[in-house]
Structure 1
Amino acid sequence: MNSFEVIGGKKLKGEIVPQGAKNEALQIISAVLLTSQKVTITNIPDILDVNLLIELLGEMNVKIERPQRDTCIFQADDVNVDYLRSDGYKQKSGRLRGSVMLAGPMLARFRKAYIPKPGGDKIGRRRLDTHIIGFEKLGATFNYLPEDGFFELQAPDLRGNYLMLDEPSVTGTANIVMAAVMAEGITTIYNAACEPYLQQLCKMLNRMGAKISGIGSNLLTIEGVQSLNGTEHRMLPDMIEIGSFIGLAAMTQSDITIKNAGIEHLGIIPDKFRQLGIQLQFEGDDIHVPAQEVYEIQTFLDGSVLTIYDHPWPGFTPDLLSIVLVVATQARGSVLIHQKMFESRLFFVDKLIDMGAQIILCDPHRAAVIGLGREQNLRGIQMSSPDIRAGVSLLIAALSADGKSVIQNIEQIDRGYQYIDKRLQALGADIKRI
């Protein structure tokens, strides 16, 4: 098992280019199953979760060319549907939360699908109810097979329907959209997720011949079509990486420029970092974060303590709350971090407390951070990465801390961030993989 050894306290400088969006990639790559024609996808992040999904498609007999690490040409003209009941599929897909995204396109085109129990981060419950209920309303039948841990879905006759989602799940919405594009009749999805990644999926499907309207809103209307064609698609920059680099620059008092950041797709993310007192300068589509000695957390207009919480888009993404929490530890002022969606995602704060941060974990969902204002630096320790986002948050803390830190279980970080050690080294970070 690999670890990162980090010598902290160094100021970084330079330019960094964000990878393609992980959360978009899992949806877009699954959608290649909807057509027998070639689909070319560029700006693919070279990370564990995405590569695992590409391997899964290859084992399903999808033809794959990879002329560059960030480009794949897929052709799903000879898919082995029975592979989805194999032990190999169960083992590989059980490690990957994103494998659930194969169900929608498989139902649409082949009228049956199998979903293993979800894998991925240990950050709390991740329900499949939204996916399953949506498929059932489109005409699919659902059975759980306890002997091998699969959910079996069959849909000999998919028909459009009106769906009111119980939660605006991004993956749930994407999965239902992919099933509905080839269902007979019209499907209406209300309380749909409207994240940029979902907008990208819908635009790609429309280029393939789907008829989806309402893109960017929480009310999607889908007119089913008989078949879809091939297309080309380029993924957005990863907004979670961009937020991570903003936090990194602030914590390490570094001067960093994030190139080609896709600013128009970042929503309120820049504003939330500005609420922490971080200066951001937009230069074309680049974000320049100048070196700051101190950044001060704002209060609400009535002077009360700032609260930052996650909320469905266009609210603040839950994937950046861990980053915001770490960045707040060295700010001047206080903030309440309220993680609504996942009940275990704040449990990594014990590592930050060991490093010298002043944090009160109020309950599984809320943490009060009293910023040190750099009066006392964090200190390096040995720790373990519990999930992707917490892992990078701890890495940022280690890069800003005095002395040496060792971060174990970095496979979690590799699941979401490509070549992170090499890219940070290029900025002057003292980090090595051991």
Structure 2
Amino acid sequence: MKADIDHWRRRLAALAADSDVPGASLAFLSDGRVHACATGVLNTATGAPARIDSLFQIGSVTKVWTATQLMLLAEQGRVTLDTPVADVLPGFKVADGAASSRITLRHLLTHTSGVDGDLFLDTGRGDDCLERYVTACAQLAQTFPVGDSHSYCNSGFVIAGRVVEQLTGMVWDRALREQICEPLGLTHTWTLPEDVLRFGAAMGHVEPGEVAPAWGLPRSVGPAGLVCATASDVVAFGRAHLTPGALLADPAAMRQPQVDLPNPHDGGRQWGIGWCLDTWDGREVASHTGDTIGQHAALWVLPETGTVVALLTNGGRSAEFQHRLIGELLVELDGLAVPEPVAPPARPVTVDTGSFTGVYERAGSRIHVGARGAGLRMRTEPTGMLVGLARARTLDLVPVDATTFVGRDEGDSMWNAVVFELRADGTSYLHHSGRATPRVA
């Protein structure tokens, strides 16, 4: 079906207003053309309008770019996915000596290294910031043995970015331009604020109308989440993953399942190389989302239909907004029904919650789980560098089955899934927001 961009401009504006989203930018590839529209403002304090050439932070969607950089180097024979990190970065180590020698590039790109992954450490603005960050990873503990499970790991992608630097002889930002941006002609994709500021740039909002306390994260976490781009540039990148030879000789290799996710309600059922993988209405979907300080991004790639969609926002109830828009868009473009997120069952479920209560902790987050009626109450508190940037959050959890619970913020239509895992060896994990958080008390 031929896309009606005027219709989608109106729907973008209406859905953004319904979900208190200050500004949004949408682009999608359909019938061989990229269509784009924008709505709202980049900053509620200035009223600067969001335009299709405005740059938003795409957050962790950056990880697909970093994974692509390493896949390019692998195709060139410079490295393999099963090369140990220590073979490329002499002296590399984490707190566990055995893990230090076992972690491979594949572990980094599939979030299976087990490294406690939310170290948001500012190591300065210099070109050595990734090298210094990787040195600091020597303090990171294992949340589980290498390759044993899946847990979203920002630190692993910073390490991957440092591998790119070592193999190319360039800082990560420059390597990204030479490997991806310049070959694809992406003129509105940048990583450093001095470049982003040459364009209209979105500011995050942490509450309706409330501008975020900081614009962005430190340069040292660049490979995990610092790309800023227009929605059209993000779509062009996604399109390259459907076109052999545009960047990679075999981009489909990145969409091969590598690990099943312990929380299959958290965006996808499996992880590939850089991509989150799922099946919607019988069709393969590769996607990635990203959050920074008050900004949210999403990229979807549908190989069977050739559809690529990027949606960038700077606040509000972004998950709700994202779900409603992609649902409407894919029905019209591809006749595809987006599955509804997990929600409380029609009939209440009775679960013995006693084995799930306690304190769970990882870098950047401490989670208290206590009994509440027939369910649980979960309070998440930011720790370390995330204090002041992330907010404490309390969710009342309703059981869905013996180990799965859902909760949502007041006023939000979207439920968040929490999966508890009790292992035979006595270890326990809480799986939420892609992370495996071990119980410590």
Common topology (TM > 0.5) = no
Q: Which has the larger radius of gyration?
A: 1
Please classify the TM superposition score into its range, dividing by the shorter chain length: under 0.3
* More RCO (CA 8 Å, sep 6+): 1
* TM-score, L = length of structure 1: 0.26
